[in-house]
Structure 1
Amino acid sequence: MRIERIEEAGAVHAAAGLFDAPPLPGVTERFLASPGHHLLVAYDDAGVPIGMISGVEMTHPDKGTEMFIYELGVSEGSRRHGVATRLVEELAAVARRTGCYGMWVGTEPGNDAALATYRRAGASEEAPFTLLNWDLIDGVRE
């Protein structure tokens, strides 16, 4: 397995099956062009995309910069083979290189696979929190 940082939209679209929904062209270009946005894709030995992780550096005046794991996905046939853990570890390495003081992720309490992956990759659990959401576009996507 090899992991590559993606900088071209074509590579994102070639890995479309790893995302929750098909990548949108304009949004993909915006994500890739934004400083502090990271997209890593894992490929099997045949060059087939088998996993992806996206992260966004977030900076606050009194805290510094931390990495937020935005999304993690692994193809069904590649799950439970360490792909997700390797992707999380590689994003953590990117975060260290870019000067982030930490990295964080939120997931559903019942998502046992995600919780196990993040713990295996070195995460520690903090106090639970409540996620509140605003739907600002009412289902419309670019």
Structure 2
Amino acid sequence: MFAEAFEAPEDYADAPPDEPWAARWLANPDHIALLAERDGIPVGALTAYVLPKFEQARSEIYIYDLAVLEAARRRGVASALIDHLRVIARDIGAWTIFVQADIDPEDEPARALYRKLAVEQITALHFDIAP
């Protein structure tokens, strides 16, 4: 799903985790995986992480990936996935859900969706630090 929607097989399909890794990932209650189907065919997916905070007894949820296949876009799939995540967030008592969005021009539709659902915060830069 993600490999096709993001046109990034090298990141999502070239080296998939083995079954024990996938089972452990799915069993972790702080990991969320949602799949949207239309007529039994996957058309969208969302992965997120529950992040327990240290400064207060609360958690937040980070949307790591949200993808919708091109043929299913602009039909409410991403909004439905986020709405379902909001239910999960309320059920676990999370105080917020957050997502990062790329600033590339081709990602404007995603940013428009997030602006519709949330308050835009332009207060940080993202840095990747090599381990």
Partner of 1:101: 95
Partner of 2:129: 134
Query: How large is the Cα RMSD of the aligned pairs?
Result: 2.1
Q: Which structure's residues are more often helix, by fraction? A: 2
Query: Identity of paired residues, percent?
Result: 30
Aligned length: 121
Q: In the superposition, relative to structure 1, how do residues 16 and 115 fare at CA in structure 2: closer, same or farther (>3 Å)? A: closer
Q: In the superposition, relative to structure 1, how do residues 133 and 37 fare at CA in structure 2: closer, same or farther (>3 Å)? A: same
SS of the equivalent of 1:133 reads: coil
Instruction: Name the TM-score, length of structure 2 as normaliser.
Output: 0.81
Long gaps (5+) in structure 1:
1-13, 137-142
Partner of 1:140: none
Check conservation: 1:39, 1:55, Cα contact below 8 A: yes
Corresponding position: 1:39 with 2:41: no
Match of 1:79 among 73, 76, 79: 73
Deviation digits for residues 50-109 of structure 1 (CA, Å, limit 9, x no counterpart): 000011100112142001001001111101111111111111111111110011011112
SS of the equivalent of 1:81 reads: coil
Long gaps (5+) in structure 2:
none
Give the distance between the partners of 1:92 and 1:106, measured in 2 at CA. Answer: 16
Corresponding position: 1:124 with 2:119: yes
Check conservation: 2:5, 2:70, Cα contact below 8 A: no
